[in-house]
Amino acid sequence: MTLDPAGEAPLKTDDPKTPDIPDVPTHTQSAARRPPRSLSAINALLALLVSAAVLYASFIGAGPLPALGPAFNPATGAWTMAADAATVQSQTLTIPGLQQPVRVMFEKDGTAHVVAQTDADLFLAVGYVHARFRLFQMDLERRQGEGLLSQVVGKAALDSDRFELQLGLLRTAQLEWAQADDTTKIALTAYAKGVNDRIDEAKKTHQLDVMFTLLGYQPQPWTPIDTLIVKGDMTQTLNFTDTPLVMELLNKSLGPNLTQQWFPVLPPNPQSPYDPGPYPTQAKPAPITVLSSVTDSEAATALALHNRLANLPPSLVATGGASNNWAVAGAKSVSGGALMAGDPHLHLTLPSIWFQLTEDSPDYHTSGVSIPGTPVVLIGHNQHISWSLTDAQNQQTFFYEEKEDSAHPGQYFWKDAWHNYTSVSYDIPVLGGTTDHLVVKLSTHGPVISERGLTTSVWWAGNIPSQDFSVLMHVGQASNYQEFRDALRDWHSPTHNFVYADDAGNIGLISAGYYPLVAQGQPWLPMPGTGEYDVTGTVPYDDIPQIYDPPSNIVWSANQRQVGPDYPYYIGTASNFFDPGYRANEIQRVLSQPGKLSAADMMALQTDTRDFLASEITPILVQALAGDQLTSSEQQARDLLASWDFRMETNSAAASIWSTFWQSYLSQTFDPTWKAKNVTVDRHELDDALGQYLEASTIAGGRASCPPNAICAPPPPAPPYGALRSAFHAAFSTLSTKLGGDPGSWTWGKLHTRVLENLAQISGLNYGPRPDRGDGNTPLAAGGDPSTHGPSWRMVVDWGTKTFSGIYPGGQSENPASTWYENKVDTWWSGLYAPMLSADEASFAPGVTTWAMQP
Amino acid sequence: MKGWVWLFITLIGLAISLTGLLLGAWWLTFVAGLIIGAVIGQGRVAIPAGAGAGVVSWGFGLAVLQVYYGLGASARSLAAIMGFTGQPAIPLILTCVVGLLLGLTGAWLASALRGLLVPATH
């Protein structure tokens, strides 16, 4: 192939092979050297084809590649992330919509301080700041809840979009907005204005986040509904559960008795509820019947729906909670003031779910962490009180099997009459595909989410409009427990354990939210939708779990069941709805020790790696092994356990032996039954629940450990000592194979790692995996391997010294090239904290930069 | 055509390409190639000139970013996003290649079409 068929280069007259034709005009000479027209045509055709291919790749992209032209344009494409990543400089910004000038200061680590002269300006400025650093994250979150992910990532997200629109986050957000009070409307409108100011600015200056560029779209204007959707995402992540479906599948395969024994309503193991009673005696809770058989069609329906939910992205279905908070009254603290600690455990992502800031305006003086997309501090403190949250875990999801028949198409039977389903239609745009049309049917219980087998609808507390922002703004303004408690009265979902401490030395804990009451039946299973089993209301606010200034001078929550067995209302079963209680037990154990506590003790407890379950079981195991035939290496492993302090530290070999042993123990105890009865639920999903039974029966020493509320016909599956020994030998074999023959070298760090995952699932932008301490039972939560879930924010408050400390694993910026992308991770990983400065303090901090925002 | 004319045309193309990049009209690099190819005509000159104008303009954009902000972290991040973790040179090279190809194909296409329009000898 020649690239020069039309070449006009001068002839080389000294070329001996070129005839000398002096009389021929020059242009004729050129024409004589020009290739035939056919070759020129071929060349032109090739040029056209190659040009078309290059232009196609540049304008449209190819395969996984984005449109190369706009994506890699150094001036306006992905490379602008370099400018965006540059250190924030002090400057003056003109922000449309402001009423008065606003000052925004940034500490060296990116922590923001927004100081405004009106409340509306405060929220507008917060919207601008959030969008400046987290716009893509915010856009992803609203798209998830609004069912619009497919529009930018294609068909792969269609199942998620369809489910979200069925479940109804968008409908609920629209209702919440319609019902919002004026304060909320002003705040959310101002916030949206601030976000949109930044969107407009970023579009004009080509500073949109790199992911917008690479995905080839630009963000739409932000609306208050979007903020409510982001709140809905969080609610869904924390309390939309599939547990009734799991229970139905277990009931079908294991039978009612074994299911009741292994998965009881009340926990079979020793727990430490924070609200020990006395409980209301006037309550008239509904009669909750015992488990009954499940039909084939019910089981098939549950399996189909369970599988559908299992294939959704993990954040759409809650899979158990893990967060800690506690408080110590002034009477028990070294400083004389109340202490408070909070560390919500969530999926650890980069960027983090949190954005740290202080908010100051005439009516608000809050400091803590906010969720980008929302205008308020969710966890933090003001001048008088501090608060933090853990998930309350009560059952908030109920499934109903609607009664239908062919004589009444489009109808369901409810309360002795046939009713029409209502319906809502949605169009889901799909990148690279045709728009998907979705019709959502709604019964009186909620949206129909499955029509495979029996038609199943879902009643979900997250679909009850909940004015959470109004509540949080009132919480932020509260100055004592009464105002705090009054503010939480309107909080519906997700139900949270709100811990409280104030500058007068008081402490409290209240599990605010909606506690659905059903008329009758078995709410832990899907129920008939004919009306007799409906949700009829909620536990009265005065009756929900709560405590204020208890004589013990401590309060604590870690997703455990908050109340004891005498609590009169059904609030959920032990399996999955509530945590097994080991973290709560350990926290209670440490806080209850004699003597006074300091902020340093709070920090130490937040990073405590003592496994409470191990502390219960290991001594029994060591005792069981005392009468066993052991090799010298096995003896060495036994000795490591015998001298262990039950801490899951990276350099602990005993921690590895314990963890592997416990998995073997669970496996050897339950797997034979799983296999024999063809249980369709993955056993590992249920290890927390099964572990509680195994723990209780092991502690009972081989006797049938029957909790008072359960029916315990069969004895435990195996005599504990034999089972303990067998599991130990299996664990020893596993570890020998994996880590070699020297038990002393089996350190926990070789088995257990943690990773902070990039939010857009780009593994190259993850932090880790790195060996890390802790496990799923330790206050320093680190379940799974690699662990992707854990303390997403740690805060410690000492009202006696007025010191506030906090840290989260991440950074303020979502730009991976920014120094603020992961700059807080190492501090967090080391168990250290950063001071939470007020705006006044920050203004004198070294390296602070300031944005002067002008209207 | 004199060499200085070729150089001048190439520089004009370079300026057009740079202006396009600044305005977000990255496709002007292709247009610059078209102009270079159409004016110079000879493929053996026009095509390298177009490719050069493309690669230099896109590379110059990167150089400016490097001087003002540094490109290391961005290159590492982009490489990771593209699935080439630890190979930050790849997005840098890809960027230059896009500029090169746009300029090259523009010049090639124009010079080839011009060749078709000039009568051939049989």
In this prediction, residues A694-698 reach a mean pLDDT of 92
The residue of chain B with its CA nearest to that of A44 is B112
DSSP β-ladder status, A794-798 and A803-807: antiparallel
pLDDT at A15 over 90: no
Q: What pLDDT is recorded for position A320?
A: 66
The residue of chain B with its CA nearest to that of A5 is B115
* Token pair belonging to A215: 């995905």
Identify the residue with better confidence: A340 or A269: A340
Q: What percent of chain A shows pLDDT beyond 90?
A: 84
Of A224-233, A450-459, B30-39, least confident by mean pLDDT is A450-459
The terminus-to-terminus CA distance of chain B in angstroms comes to 25
- For residues B59 and A315, what is the distance between their CA atoms, to the nearest angstrom? 42
The answer to whether B122 contacts A43, with C-beta atoms less than 8 Å apart, is no
- How would DSSP label each residue in B86-105? T-THHHHHHHHHHHHHHHHH
In this prediction, residues A713-740 reach a mean pLDDT of 82
What distance in Å separates residue A218's CA from the closest CA in chain B?
A: 14
The residue of chain B with its CA nearest to that of A814 is B77
Look at residue B39 and tell me if it is in a domain. Answer: yes
Identify the residue with better confidence: A320 or A264: A264
The residue of chain B with its CA nearest to that of A82 is B74
Look at residue B101 and tell me if it is in a domain. Answer: yes
Look at residue A681 and tell me if it is in a domain. Answer: yes
pLDDT at A617 over 70: yes
pLDDT at B13 over 70: yes
Residues 150-169 (A) with a CB less than 8 A from some CB of B: none
A348-405 pLDDT per residue, tens: 999 999 999 999 999 999 999 999 999 999 999 999 999 999 999 999 999 999 999 9
- For residues A239 and B39, what is the distance between their CA atoms, to the nearest angstrom? 68
pLDDT at A30 over 80: no
**Does A823 touch chain B if contact means CB atoms closer than 8 Å?**
no
Identify the residue with better confidence: A197 or A285: A197
Look at residue B13 and tell me if it is in a domain. Answer: yes
Look at residue A677 and tell me if it is in a domain. Answer: yes
Look at residue B122 and tell me if it is in a domain. Answer: no
The answer to whether B118 contacts A6, with C-beta atoms less than 8 Å apart, is yes
The residue of chain B with its CA nearest to that of A211 is B81
Residue A290: pLDDT band (50, 70, 90) is low
Q: What is the dihedral of CA A43, A46, A50, A55, to 10 degrees?
A: 80
- For residues A134 and A254, what is the distance between their CA atoms, to the nearest angstrom? 48
B21, B64, B76: residue with CB nearest A73: B21
* Amino acid of residue A842: A
Full residue range of the structural domain in which residue B11 is found? 3-117
Q: What pLDDT is recorded for position A22?
A: 40
The answer to whether B30 contacts A76, with C-beta atoms less than 8 Å apart, is no
- For residues B58 and A96, what is the distance between their CA atoms, to the nearest angstrom? 35
Q: Which residues contact A449 (CB under 8 A, 6 or more apart)?
A: A163, A166, A167, A305, A456, A457, A458
In this prediction, residues A671-675 reach a mean pLDDT of 96
The residue of chain A with its CA nearest to that of B62 is A74
Residue with tokens 């000039």: B118
Give the total number of structural domains in chain B: 1
Q: What pLDDT is recorded for position A291?
A: 59
- For residues A265 and A141, what is the distance between their CA atoms, to the nearest angstrom? 34
Q: In 10 A of CB A383, how many CB atoms?
A: 11
Q: What pLDDT is recorded for position A38?
A: 84
In this prediction, residues A554-567 reach a mean pLDDT of 96
Look at residue A666 and tell me if it is in a domain. Answer: yes
The answer to whether A82 contacts B73, with C-beta atoms less than 8 Å apart, is yes
Q: What pLDDT is recorded for position A300?
A: 92
Q: What pLDDT is recorded for position B1?
A: 60
Residue A35: pLDDT band (50, 70, 90) is low
Q: What pLDDT is recorded for position B88?
A: 96
Full residue range of the structural domain in which residue A677 is found? 612-646+649-750
Q: What pLDDT is recorded for position A350?
A: 97
Look at residue B66 and tell me if it is in a domain. Answer: yes
**Does A25 touch chain B if contact means CB atoms closer than 8 Å?**
no
Identify the residue with better confidence: A567 or A9: A567
Q: What pLDDT is recorded for position B89?
A: 97
Residues 79-98 (A) with a CB less than 8 A from some CB of B: 79, 81-83, 85-86
A46, A82, A763: residue with CB nearest B65: A82
Look at residue A24 and tell me if it is in a domain. Answer: no
pLDDT at A728 over 90: yes
What distance in Å separates residue B12's CA from the closest CA in chain A?
A: 19
Give the total number of structural domains in chain A: 1
pTM: predicted TM-score of the whole model, two decimal places: 0.92
Residues 166-225 (A) with a CB less than 8 A from some CB of B: 206, 210-211, 214
The answer to whether A73 contacts B69, with C-beta atoms less than 8 Å apart, is no
pLDDT at B21 over 90: yes
Backbone phi and psi for residue A63, each to the nearest 5 degrees, phi listed first: 55, -130
Query: B27 contacts in A (CB within 8 Å)?
Result: 55, 58-59, 69
Look at residue A789 and tell me if it is in a domain. Answer: no
Q: What percent of chain B shows pLDDT beyond 90?
A: 88
The residue of chain B with its CA nearest to that of A41 is B116
* Token pair belonging to A543: 């009756």
The answer to whether B115 contacts A44, with C-beta atoms less than 8 Å apart, is yes
Q: What pLDDT is recorded for position A34?
A: 63
- For residues A695 and A660, what is the distance between their CA atoms, to the nearest angstrom? 15
In this prediction, residues A664-691 reach a mean pLDDT of 95
Tell me how far apart the 2 most distant CA atoms of chain A are, in Å.
122
Cβ atoms A133, A143 nearer than 8 A: no
Angle (CA) A336 A342 A346, round 5° = 175
Q: What pLDDT is recorded for position A822?
A: 96
Look at residue A654 and tell me if it is in a domain. Answer: yes
| Average pLDDT over all residues of chain A | 92
Residue A658: pLDDT band (50, 70, 90) is very high
Residue A771: pLDDT band (50, 70, 90) is very high
Nearest to A696 by CA among A291, A255, A271, A256: A271
In this prediction, residues A587-609 reach a mean pLDDT of 98
Q: What pLDDT is recorded for position A627?
A: 81
Interface test with A, best of B68, B105, B114, B117 (most A CBs within 10 A): B105
- For residues A458 and A400, what is the distance between their CA atoms, to the nearest angstrom? 6
In this prediction, residues A586-599 reach a mean pLDDT of 98
Look at residue A774 and tell me if it is in a domain. Answer: no
The answer to whether A210 contacts B116, with C-beta atoms less than 8 Å apart, is no
Q: In 10 A of CB A40, how many CB atoms?
A: 22
pLDDT at A220 over 80: yes
Backbone phi and psi for residue A849, each to the nearest 5 degrees, phi listed first: -120, 155
B44, B58, B108: residue with CB nearest A74: B58
A72, A83, A762: residue with CB nearest B80: A762
Q: What pLDDT is recorded for position A321?
A: 67
Look at residue A686 and tell me if it is in a domain. Answer: yes
pLDDT at A12 over 60: no
Query: A5 contacts in B (CB within 8 Å)?
Result: 43, 112, 115
Is the ipTM, as predicted for this complex, more than 0.90?
A: yes
